[in-house]
Amino acid sequence: MTHETSTSRTSRRSVLGLLGAAPIAAGLLTAGQPAHAEASAFRSIPADLGVGGKFDRFIADRAAKDLFSGVVLLAYRGRPVLRRAYGMANKASSIPNRLDTRFDLASVTKTLTAVAVAQLAQQGKIAFHEKLGTYLQGFSAEISQTVTVHQLLTHTSGIGRPAVGTEPPTRPEWNTIQKVWDGTAKAIRALPPQFTPGTQYRYSNDGFFLLGEIVAAVSGQSYYDYVRQHIFTPARMTHSDFFTKTQVTADRAIARPYATQPSGPRADFTTSDFFPFVGGPHRGAYATATDLLAFARALRNSTLLGPAYAELITTGKMIMPPSEQQGLTRQHLFYGYGFTDAIVGGRHVIGHSGSSAGAANNLDTYPELDWTAVILGNYDTPIAPIVEMERQIITENARPSAGTAS
């Protein structure tokens, strides 16, 4: 879940009535392996989740109506049972989305930042109770001596844009990674607090940017290098990275983001002055669906964090308001440390969503059932209907797993 740009908020309201070019579907699960072979290796797969099942048909229908473009992956016990790619990664060059296409993760990036902070906390280099001023300089005493790492992680710090917590506007002169980093850091430090820390929940991209600054300050590496070395590499996320605007527009394996316009067809957001030069700790990493599955597996099998710290960051801490429901049915919804913790059908669903102009994503993991669901899209059309069906079928039909992902 995210509230990254005014463009994305407008687009989500206006997109449902639009129809565009017919999508392209890539339905093979694994190169050289028929769909039925991968699914047949499992004995507890509800028919509605398998190849040709209710969920599969529903996504295909939405894609045929140009309401979804991207990749969907379902995995049981860490192994894919359904993978689909639809639509175009680059319409101008007629490049279809593929199973190995990289997508802008938008705010799913926050899960990476939370893991980075927890790794350093596990090493005793960061304490969740410590004040912001312990790690970073340049803030007023009102902020530096009151805001804690815990509050930044739970969106209760009071730091950020009013109401929605969007990042400072992208500026043409921010045309290097360092300029983006320095400009954003300076803009955040000029902000007054929005409320007394710890008294409210208010989603803040700026707060997570500061967490990335803390990671860099404590580790002695740039935030980007830290994530590459300590998250992407050990998790075997071999296609993931933070790409600059130049790299995004040059790489045929990266999906272009198609933002909804008030009227007319979707537009390639990379051509806009508001497309950021590079992402950061709050949004904008790129990954494939397979890499996100690898991330979920690595978080669960202690590759990235010890079990206690993995449980710590994924356990709900702050109740989220009804305005955060995003069109999904949930019995309860909490925010942990960079992860949402929802109770759906009596089951925990851990993960994060991400949306911005030309991006709509969701990562769901079901720790009690050993399912993982990844949805990555390069439209900003809401994907709530897809997520809703996935959750309903898994929680109503899937039995608890006898094993764990490895």
Q: Mind listing the domains of the chain with CATH numbers?
A: 1-75+85-406 (3.40.710.10)
Cα dihedral sign, 189-192-197-203: negative
Report which of residues 326 and 98 the model is more confident about.
98
Confirm if 168 and 298 have CB atoms less than 8 A apart: no
Which pLDDT score is estimated for 358?
Answer: 96
CA 146 from centroid of its chain's CA atoms:
29
Lowest mean pLDDT among 26-35, 59-68, 155-164: 26-35
CA dist 27 → 77, 158, 250 (Å): 21, 45, 26
**Nearest-angstrom CA–CA distance, 349 and 234:** 24
Report which of residues 17 and 90 the model is more confident about.
90
DSSP assignment of 50-69, as one string? STTSHHHHHHHHHHHTTS--
The arithmetic mean of pLDDT across residues 369-395, rounded, is 96
186 bridge partner residues: none
b/e per residue 307-331 (b: at least 16 CB within 10 A): eebbebbbebbbebeeebebebebe
**Nearest-angstrom CA–CA distance, 276 and 356:** 12
Confirm if 68 and 377 have CB atoms less than 8 A apart: yes
Q: How far apart are the first and last CA of the chain?
A: 28
pTM beyond 0.75, yes or no: yes
Which pLDDT score is estimated for 23?
Answer: 34
Cα dihedral sign, 358-354-293-126: positive
Tens of pLDDT, residue by residue over 308-345, are 999 999 999 999 887 776 778 777 899 999 999 999 99
Which pLDDT score is estimated for 264?
Answer: 77
